[in-house]
Structure 1
Amino acid sequence: MSPVSFKRRLLGASISAAICAALIQPYAHAATTVKEIPPTKPKLVVVLVVDGLPQEQIQRYRDQFGEGGFKRLLTQGAWYSDAHQAHGVTLTAVGHSAVLTGAYPYQHGIIGNNWIDPTTLANVYCTEDSRYTYLGEDTKAGDGTSPANLKVNTVGDELRYATGKQSKVITVSGKDRGAILLAGKTGTAYMMMKKSGNFASSTYYMQSYPAWREQYVAGKPQDKYYGQRWNLLLDEKAYANDANDSVIIPGAPKANDRLPMIYASSSGKPDPEYYESLFTGPFVDEMTLEFAKAAVDGEKLGANPAGVPDILGVSLSSHDYVNHRWGPESRMSHDHLQRLDRMLAKFFDYLDKKVGLDNSLVLLTADHGFPNTPEFARDHQLDAARIDGKELVNALNLHLQNKFGIDKLVKKLSAPTVLLDYAKLETKGLKREDLENAVAQFVLKYPGIADAYTRTQLESGNVPNNRIAKLMQRGWNRQVSGDVMIVLKPYWYFGSDDHGTSHGSPYRYDTNVPLMIMGKPWIKPGNYGHYAEVVDIAPTLAHLLRVRSPAGTEGRVLVEALK
C-alpha cells in the first residue's frame, strides 16, 4: 500500500480539485431534474434526530410500533431504506453536523466528539468555546457552549438570512452537541444539564432567558421521575428474539444493569447522580419532547407573526446511551425504541393540534447506527473485539524506535487517526512519507485493523477506489485530523471496557440510518429504495423553503419523493 510520493510544496488548487472530485463519488448520485414545488411553504420544519438509531432496528421492530409514531412516518411519509451517514467516522457530533449543513467532515471540520489538536496536543471538544458559559448553570472547561468549531453554515442559517432573521430556529437535545450543531451559527440551542436536570442555553445565544423557559424549569419536571421504574412496555414474549442478558452483560447481575431499573440516587433525593442516570433510559427523551413543546408554544413556532417558516430541531439522546451500554440486540434497546415510538405519537398529535401536520414538514433521521456488542458478535461466530488505544501507541512507538532510532514518534492517538512527530524525524534528515508508511505497514499487521491511509495519500486523493476508502477520505480534515487514518475490521472498535459497544466505523451497521420525510402538500409517500445520504436533507429542505443551500452542501434534492 505504498503511497505515490509527491512534493508537498505543489499542493494547491489542482490537488484540492482532485480531492473534491474523489470525495463525491463513492456512490453514483443519479442526475435529476428538480420539480416545481407547491405554492405554499411549510409553516414549521421539524427535524428529529434519534441519536444512535440504526435503520435495521426500524425494520426489525416495525410490526410492534403503534399507529401514530414511526408507523405514521413510514406510511404517510417517504422512507429511504438505503440512507446513509456517508462518511467514515460515524460519531454523534459528526453525524449531527451533516444533517443541516449537507457537508462532510473534510469541509465542516467536526471530525469527532473530541479530537487532539495537532499543534498543541490539547484535547478539543467539538462544541467547546471558552468565550461563552452556560446561562445560570455551572460551566466546566471544555463544556459545549457554541458552534465555533463548525466551519460551515446550515439550512437554518440560510433561512434566517433570507427572512432578515424573522424566521426562528430553535433546537433542543439532551446533549449539547446534539442541539448546538443543529442550531448552526444563528439559531438558538437548549440542552439538558446533567448536574441540575434543567434545559439551559449559553451566553453565545442570549444574555437572559425568555419567560416561557423560566416558567418551564420552575416546575422542576425532571424530578417527577425520581423513584420510577423502567419496566418492559410489551408482553415478555415480544422480546423473545432479543439477546440474552447473560451474553451482553458479563458476570453476576448487579443493581440497575438490566430491566427493571429504578431511577434514584444514594442521597435519597434528586441530585446530579440521579439526573445523569436518567440519560440511560426513556425519561430524558420524554423531557426533551416536552421541552420542545414548550418552545413551540413560547416562541410561537409555526405561527410566526412575520408569516415566515420556522425550524424546530430535536435531538433525542437516550437511544445512544442505551445502545452503548447494552447493544442494539438487547431487549433494553428494543423496549426503549418502542417507548420512543409512543412518545413520538404524542408529539405528532400535539403538532397536529398546535400547528397542523399539513402545515408542517417533519423529518426523522439518525446521526449514526450501531454494531452489536463484541460478545454478541462472537456468540454468532463473528470476529469481534476491542482495541486498547494505549497498547497500540506503545507498540507503535517501540517498533518505530527500533526502525528509526527515535523515541516516541507517535505523539497521540486521536482515533481513528495517529498523530506523528514530524519534527523529530526531520532532525535526522528522514522523509515524512517514510514514517507514515512505516506506521501504516505496522498497523496492517496489528489484530483488528483492516487498512490504513497516510496523510500523503489523503492530501493527494490517492486512496483506493472503493467505498470504505472514500468514506474515510470524507471523514478526514487536513487542518485538524491526524497523519495516519486507521480502519478497523468489522465489529472491532477502540475501547478497553469488558462490556457494551461503540460506533464510529464506515461499515453499514454504522452508516445505514433512517431517513423519513412527512408533509402532505410536499412529500409523496412511499418506501424508496433509492440510495440517499443524510447530506441530501439540507438541499431538499432548502429547495422546499426556497432558500439558498448551505455553502458546504454536497447532497442532492430528493426529487423522487417530492409531489
Structure 2
Amino acid sequence: MIKQLSLPALVLASALLAQPLAIHAAPATAAHPAQPKLVVVLVVDGLPNEQVLRYREQFGQGGLRRMLEQGASFNNAHQAHGITVTAIGHSAVLTGAYPYVHGIIGNNWIDPQTGKSVYCTEDTNYHYLNEETKPSDGTAPTRLKVDTLGDQLRYATGGQSKVVAVSGKDRGAILLAGKTGTAYMYMDKTGNFASSSYYMQQHPAWVQQYQAGKPQDRYYGKTWAPLLPAAAYAGDAPEELNQVKAGTHNRLPFSYYSESGNIDADYYNLLKTGPYLDQLTLDFARAAVEGENLGRNPAGVPDLLGVSLSAHDYVNHAFGPESKLSHDHLQRVDRMLAEFFNYLDKRVGMDNVLVVLTADHGFPNTPEFSRTQHIDAERIDGSAMMKALDKHLSDKFGGARLLGAWSLPNIHLDYQQIEKSGLKREEVETAAARFLLAQKGIVETYTRTQLESGAANTTRMATLMRRAWNREASGDLMVVTKPYWYFGTGSSGTSHGSPYAYDTNVPLLIMGKRWIKPGAYGQYAEVVDIAPTLAHLLRVRPPAGAEGRVLTESLQ
C-alpha cells in the first residue's frame, strides 16, 4: 500500500525540489602532466653499468652526470635473458619482450628448417638505398615477431607520430625502429647513413643533403688521444695484457687512416672502433630531428627518436672494459651526450623531452686481466668442442651422425637421423648434455625436452635461459659456460653473451623533470620495463609481447 502524503508534507517536498542541488565534487587532483613532445631512447652498445659507476666522478656536467643527477637511475637493472647479445638486447628495449616471444634469439642463428645460418635483420626482399647490399645484410625487421612502443605510438596517433632510429649497426637501428618506424644505419663501405627499401624507395631531401656533405671524411688523419690527464687512467689495465694481432693498435693515441693513403672502405671500417662513429651517429640524429621536425610535430603528438651508439661495443670487444681505450671512450661518449642534450634543449626544450638511456648488454673483462685478479677465466674453442661432441654421439649410437648445425650456445641435433636410427630424441639429448657438462669450462646444459616440458630447474640461470629459448627457432640444446669463460679463439679481446651479472647488469637511466622523480633506485628492474613505462607516460597500449612492469617508483 502506498502511503499518501499530507498537504503540509507535499508543500515541504515541493519546496525542497525547487532548491538547487548541492553537488559534492571529488577533491581536486593535480592535472595529468602533458605528454612529452619527444622521447629519446639511447642505447650505448656494450656498456656495463659497472663502468658508469666506476667512472662517474670523471664525467662532465651535461651528459651522463646530468642523467644521474636529474633523472632516475636503476643500478640493479638487467637485460634479463640468458643470451646477452646486441640483437636480443636491442629487441628488448622497445618491445618489452623476451626472445621466447619476440623471436630474435641472437645476432645470427641456425634456421631449423634449412640448417643454414640466418642474420637477425636480413631479408633479401629489400636492399639498401644507393648502397651495395649483400644477401645477409640487415635491411628489415621481418624476423621480429612482435611490435614495439613506436608501433603502438604510431597506431594510437593514426600514423602522425614519427619514429626514427639511427645506429652504427643495422640491427641497432632496425630493432629500435620496429615495424612502422624508419631506420638509418652506418654503411662501412662508404661512411654514409642509409635506409632500406623496406622503409622507402628514395631518401628524403634532408638525407641526400646530409650525405652530400660527406661529414665522415673529416676524420681522416685525425688522432684519438686521451681526453683526461694521465693520472685519471692510473687504475686501468696495463696495455701489455692485451696483445692484439699484428697491424692493429691497443693503445692511445689511435690514428684513423687507410693503408692506401686515400679515403676508402678500409678507413670507413676503421672508424667503427672509436669515438668518431658515435659522433657521426649523433650528428645524423641531429639532422633527423631537423629534417623530420621531431619534437615539433604539427599534429601535436609525440615523436620518438632511437639512437644506438655502437662504438663502445667494438672497443670493449677489442681491448676489454678494463682498458684505457674503453675508459677514455666512455668519457668521450659522455661529452658527446652533453652536446646532444644541449642541442635538444635549444631545438625542442628539455622540459618537453623524455630521455631513456640503457645498454643492450654488458661485458666481462678479458681473460688475461681476470687472471690477474685470481679469477678462473679462459676462451673455449667451440668448433673443437662440437667436433668432439659429433664423434662422441657417433661412437655411442652405432656410427650415426646425429649432430646437426650449431651456433653456440645453441646446438641442433639431426632429429630425422635420430628417428631413422630408431633412437629416442630424449636419449640422444641426454647423452649430448652429459658429454657437454664434462667439458672444460661448461657449467650447465638445457635440452629441448627440459625446456618444452618445463622440467628445467628453477634457478635464476634456468629462468634466464628459458626466456632466451624460442621453441620455433632455437636449438635442441643450450649450453652455458662457467663465469668469465666464453666461446672464442685467439689470445686477445673479450666477448659477451652469458647470463652472468657482468653481461646482464646495464645502466637504466630516465630523465624528464615533468614525469620523472630524480634519485638512485635500488629496486630490481629490467630493460623490458622501459616499454611499459613509456607506454604509461605516452598513454598508449603496451606492445603485444611486453612483460615488464611500469617503474612507478620513479614517476612524478
Per the alignment, residue 103 of structure 2 pairs with 109
1:147 to 141, 146, 149: 141
Per the alignment, residue 18 of structure 1 pairs with none
Per the alignment, residue 264 of structure 2 pairs with 271
Mapped to 1, the partners of 2:182 and 2:498 lie a distance apart of 31
Per the alignment, residue 386 of structure 1 pairs with 379
For the pair 1:61 / 2:55, whether they are aligned, the reply is yes
For the pair 1:419 / 2:412, whether they are aligned, the reply is yes
Per the alignment, residue 39 of structure 1 pairs with 33
**Is the 2:244–2:493 contact (alpha carbons within 8 Å) kept by the matching residues of 1?**
no
Mapped to 2, the partners of 1:343 and 1:273 lie a distance apart of 25
Aligned residue type for 2:430 = N
Mapped to 1, the partners of 2:400 and 2:281 lie a distance apart of 50
Mapped to 2, the partners of 1:255 and 1:180 lie a distance apart of 30
Q: For residues 201-243 of structure 1, give each alpha carbon's deviation from its aligned partner in whole angstroms, at most 9, with x where no partner exists.
A: 0000001111111111100000000000011110111000000
Q: Which runs of 5+ in 1 are unaligned?
A: 1-34
- CA RMSD in angstroms comes to 1.2
- CA separation of 1:185 and 1:255: change in aligned 2, threshold 3 A: closer
The secondary structure found in structure 2 opposite 1:544 is: helix
The secondary structure found in structure 2 opposite 1:527 is: strand
Mapped to 2, the partners of 1:511 and 1:455 lie a distance apart of 24
The secondary structure found in structure 2 opposite 1:46 is: strand
The secondary structure found in structure 2 opposite 1:530 is: coil
1:79 to 73, 81, 89: 73
Q: For residues 383-411 of structure 1, give each alpha carbon's deviation from its aligned partner in whole angstroms, at most 9, with x where no partner exists.
A: 11111111011100111111101343111
**Is the 1:226–1:264 contact (alpha carbons within 8 Å) kept by the matching residues of 2?**
yes
For the pair 1:535 / 2:528, whether they are aligned, the reply is yes
**Is the 1:38–1:522 contact (alpha carbons within 8 Å) kept by the matching residues of 2?**
no
Mapped to 1, the partners of 2:143 and 2:133 lie a distance apart of 18
Per the alignment, residue 513 of structure 1 pairs with 506
Mapped to 2, the partners of 1:119 and 1:408 lie a distance apart of 18
Mapped to 2, the partners of 1:299 and 1:394 lie a distance apart of 52
Q: For residues 330-361 of structure 1, give each alpha carbon's deviation from its aligned partner in whole angstroms, at most 9, with x where no partner exists.
A: 01000000000000000000000100111000
The secondary structure found in structure 2 opposite 1:191 is: strand
* Offset at residue 423 of structure 1 (A): 1.2
For the pair 1:297 / 2:286, whether they are aligned, the reply is no
Mapped to 2, the partners of 1:469 and 1:487 lie a distance apart of 10
**Is the 2:244–2:250 contact (alpha carbons within 8 Å) kept by the matching residues of 1?**
no
* Offset at residue 36 of structure 1 (A): 8.8
**Is the 1:101–1:154 contact (alpha carbons within 8 Å) kept by the matching residues of 2?**
yes
Mapped to 2, the partners of 1:482 and 1:522 lie a distance apart of 43
2:64 to 66, 70, 76: 70
Aligned residue type for 2:499 = P
Q: Which runs of 4+ in 1 moved over 4 A?
A: none
Per the alignment, residue 116 of structure 2 pairs with 122
TM-score normalized by the length of structure 2: 0.94
Mapped to 2, the partners of 1:155 and 1:254 lie a distance apart of 44
TM-score normalized by the length of structure 1: 0.93
Mapped to 2, the partners of 1:82 and 1:132 lie a distance apart of 40
Mapped to 2, the partners of 1:77 and 1:376 lie a distance apart of 34
Q: For residues 50-72 of structure 1, give each alpha carbon's deviation from its aligned partner in whole angstroms, at most 9, with x where no partner exists.
A: 00000000000000000000000
**Is the 1:216–1:294 contact (alpha carbons within 8 Å) kept by the matching residues of 2?**
yes
2:444 to 438, 451, 458: 451
Per the alignment, residue 249 of structure 2 pairs with 256
List aligned pairs for 1:343-354, cutoff 5 A.
343-354=336-347
**Is the 1:37–1:544 contact (alpha carbons within 8 Å) kept by the matching residues of 2?**
no
Aligned residue type for 2:376 = D
- CA separation of 1:210 and 1:331: change in aligned 2, threshold 3 A: same
Per the alignment, residue 349 of structure 2 pairs with 356
For the pair 1:334 / 2:337, whether they are aligned, the reply is no
Per the alignment, residue 482 of structure 1 pairs with 475
Mapped to 2, the partners of 1:94 and 1:144 lie a distance apart of 14
- CA separation of 1:36 and 1:111: change in aligned 2, threshold 3 A: farther
Mapped to 1, the partners of 2:361 and 2:298 lie a distance apart of 36
Per the alignment, residue 224 of structure 1 pairs with 218
Aligned residue type for 1:97 = S
Mapped to 1, the partners of 2:539 and 2:30 lie a distance apart of 11
The secondary structure found in structure 1 opposite 2:55 is: helix
Aligned residue type for 2:210 = Y
* Offset at residue 37 of structure 1 (A): 8.1
2:361 to 353, 368, 372: 368
* Offset at residue 496 of structure 1 (A): 1.2
Aligned residue type for 1:240 = A
Mapped to 2, the partners of 1:307 and 1:413 lie a distance apart of 50
Aligned residue type for 2:279 = E
For the pair 1:492 / 2:485, whether they are aligned, the reply is yes
Per the alignment, residue 156 of structure 2 pairs with 162
Per the alignment, residue 14 of structure 1 pairs with none
For the pair 1:88 / 2:57, whether they are aligned, the reply is no
**Is the 1:48–1:313 contact (alpha carbons within 8 Å) kept by the matching residues of 2?**
yes
Bigger shift: residues 259-268 or 535-544: 259-268
* Offset at residue 558 of structure 1 (A): 0.2
* Offset at residue 413 of structure 1 (A): 1.8
List aligned pairs for 1:194-205, cutoff 5 A.
194-205=188-199
Mapped to 2, the partners of 1:327 and 1:93 lie a distance apart of 20
* Alignment size in residue pairs: 528
Percent identical across equivalent pairs? 66
Q: Which runs of 5+ in 2 are unaligned?
A: 1-28
